[in-house]
Structure 1
Amino acid sequence: MGPGPRQAALNHRSAVVFIHPAELPGPTVPGVAPFAADFLLDTTRSAYLLVRNGIRNRYPNIRFLLSHAGGFVPYASHRMAMAIMADTGRSFADVLDDFSSFYFDTALSSSAAALPSLLAFARPGHITFGSDWPFAPVAVGKLFAAGLETYPALDTSTRGAIERTNALALFPRLGTPPHPIPQSPAQRIRHSLSRGAMRIVARMTSTS
């Protein structure tokens, strides 16, 4: 995962790139459901390589959104930063800053055990609501959503930002109603004729 024209194009567009794990290319470990552990490591590995290979630093306009609270990123960020510092010679603070620049969703991660680490690590405005639908069953998504709603350390403002405002900052067009599509002259004529025909039918129906 290195620099290239794709990353340059995404950076030029200030794109939001959502990183979500999928089925692993290798065999699964018996007794370990991939979504329970391996998916989280897959996301963490992706984030690690984006920082290690300089993608996060070279293309600062790309907003990378990590699913499932970033896997293990918030919890293991300092350990990973130490490894990258030793590997690349970059400063610890610089590497850690790259990790904290990610965005994180709360899909299957808004528990009383996971939220403290995420809230302590992520930058303000960098946490968005996530349900993991359609991958996770609706009941599971609702269970974790309830965890976010009832987490006592969140005030109303912060909770509202996570549930809506932070996402609107990433996707501002979703917060405004769509602009009406202008009709061509032919479309306006057809629309006028259709309304006229409907009025005639209505009058005939009322007098019959």
Structure 2
Amino acid sequence: MTQATDPRAPGSGTNTGRMKEDRLSKQDWLDAGLKLLGKTGPGGLRIDHVCKAMKVTKGSFYWHFRDRRDFLGSLFDHWRRRETTGLIRHVETTYDRAEQRIWHVVEFVTLGTYDVGTEVAMRQWGQSDPDVRAGLKQVDAERLGFFTRQFESCGFDTEPARLRAISVYSFTLSCGYMLTGETRDALRLRLRQSLDLLLARD
């Protein structure tokens, strides 16, 4: 997925704090919020904490968001677009074969640049916020739907495809929680062998 151009690139004028605040986009705030969420958990998402992390005043925050609740809702939607909807769209338009699509997601989440810390924090947040919990159910359904479609494309009927989708989703996410001591090469081999077992036909 492509990254948005940084609107804070230095111009010809003096780079004052006021100019920095004026140039902050809504995405800047949301990207910063996700980074803070991954570091501190949901408890760190207070307006003053976010403003402090971005080194700006609250005036810039209220230019883009009505209040903290608006910010939190936008933050979850941004995370879902970036790490689920956008990722799925990218994979489905980039790779022709279902096996490649599945493997790309598995490898990206476990061995790539996927932000596991924010994923974990989102799950923690969902334990105390019913709106986030409902959103996470939709995210899981969207991700499982993606994997199910891929296994169906590999020739499996709907129910066997869904069972395989749950399996690959489970061992992909669990890598962010388990400390197995594996090297990257050993982890890649294990994941590849696990996927091959799920793709095998009797």
What is the TM-score normalised by the length of structure 1? 0.28
Name whichever structure is richer in helix by fraction: 2
Q: Which has the higher strand share?
A: 1
Larger RCO (alpha carbons 8 Å, 6+ apart): 2
When the two structures are superposed, what TM-score results if normalisation uses the length of structure 2?
A: 0.29
Structure with larger Rg: 1
